[in-house]
Amino acid sequence: MSAAVEISAGRAQRPPAEVRHADELARLRAGDDAPRPPGWALSLRAARAFIVGDAKLGITRKFVGDPSLIDRALVSLATSRGLLLVGEPGTAKSLLSELLAAAVSGDSTLTIQGGAATTEDQIKYSWNYALLVSEGPTERSLVPAPLLRGMAQGRTVRFEEITRCPLEVQDCLLSPLSDRVMAVPELPGEAGMVFARDGFNIIATANTRDRGVNDMSSALKRRFNFETVFPIADFDTELSLVESEATELLRRSGVTAPPRRDVLEVLVTTFRELRTGRTARGDEMERLSAVMSTAEAVSVAHAVGLRGWFLHGAPGSAADLVSCLAGTAAKDNAEDLAKLRRYLEQHTAWRTGPQWRDLRDARRELPGG
């Protein structure tokens, strides 16, 4: 069996948004008669419905947050400036950029992952060395990377964690964004200038914890519109998001028991309190330095469900939650683990409900407890 067949034989753990929601996109496209910017797969209205949902059309809500943020993001993408989504870790910046690209271009896979080792080759283009040696620099020997592809095909290019790239690498976006052209000096004549087609733009993300946007050159900053993505403010909204995401993740992991609502309530409360440093009844408490984002809450809810099901054949309990919390909370430093223990000792006794009692009793499950 060839490697390609083996690769296609398995089920993708997480197909891209345009595949996960192919039927919704097809339905929106079919009913979309509003004007759309040149090169776009959908109108702004249909793209917005894809992201924030539309009950009448049977479109699910995929991003929870202020719909006006989506409008501004879409408008930015229709202009000649890029869009930069900034915010705390785990606030769904990457998810939003994926959904925007899927809506605007029907393709979210032209993605550059930024990091300390990102090079211009991975952003612009490189060469197939066998062909380069045999026939020199030609269009055939050129291997386009996401930016060149996006410009040539008129699509959205995603640039994840842009501020983690070295500054000089970030700056290779300057002329694609301002002049809408990329030079490939090795190619002769007209082929050496790639002009961006309608529909091309860039969505970058940056989180405020690792390296802030202060590290970006001001020349590049000017070529982006900034949008801040905030954590979910409302408890019930966050709870229902965690519930639906965890249910889906568990289903995909082969767990047939849905997560218990009372356990999820405890989980989301715990996350919010450890994130904000204030309990539901208003007591001040220690915050953790680890990131206690909604994205982390979803992944802990998934782990709790897996633990319950595969270890005891039941939905995850509050005791499973304590075991799973240790791995999230104690990531950054040992002090966080001590804070978590104090939280379980001091801030769970006054609450009613058997899950809170279980949570308190299970504090001995913490490592070193």
Ligand X SMILES: Nc1ncnc2c1ncn2[C@@H]1O[C@H](COP(=O)(O)OP(=O)(O)OP(=O)(O)O)[C@@H](O)[C@H]1O
Binding residues vs ligand X (CB under 6 A)? 63-65, 89-95, 205, 207, 232, 241, 245, 294-295, 298
Decide whether 93 or 149 has the Cβ nearer to ligand X.
Answer: 93
Per-residue binding string, Mg ion, 76-115, x by CB under 5 A, is ------------------x---------------------
Q: Give min distance, CB of 149 to ligand X, in A.
A: 22
Which of Mg ion, ligand X, none is residue 298 near (CB under 5 to 8 Å by kind)? ligand X
Nearer to ligand X, 65 or 316 (CB): 65
Output the six-digit token pair for 216. 């970006």
- Cα–Cα–Cα angle for 48, 92, 204, nearest 5°? 80
Q: Which of 356, 364, 361, 341 is nearest to 267 (CA)?
A: 356
Residue 295 binds what, of ligand X, Mg ion, none (CB under 5 to 8 Å, by partner type)?
ligand X
Query: Which is closer to ligand X, CB of 92 or CB of 102?
Result: 92
94 vs 279, which CB is nearer to Mg ion? 94
CB of residue 210 vs Mg ion: minimum separation in angstroms?
A: 10
- In the chain, the N- to C-terminal Cα span, in Å, equals 51
Of 163 and 279, CB closest to ligand X:
163
Neighbouring CB atoms inside 10 A of 197's CB total 15
Q: How far is the CB of 87 from ligand X (least distance, A)?
A: 6
Supply the minimum distance, in Å, between the C-beta of residue 130 and ligand X.
36
Q: What is the 3-state secondary structure (H, E, C) of 65-80?
A: CCHHHHHHHHHHHHCC
Cα–Cα dist 158/94, whole Å: 9
Binding residues vs Mg ion (CB under 5 A): 94
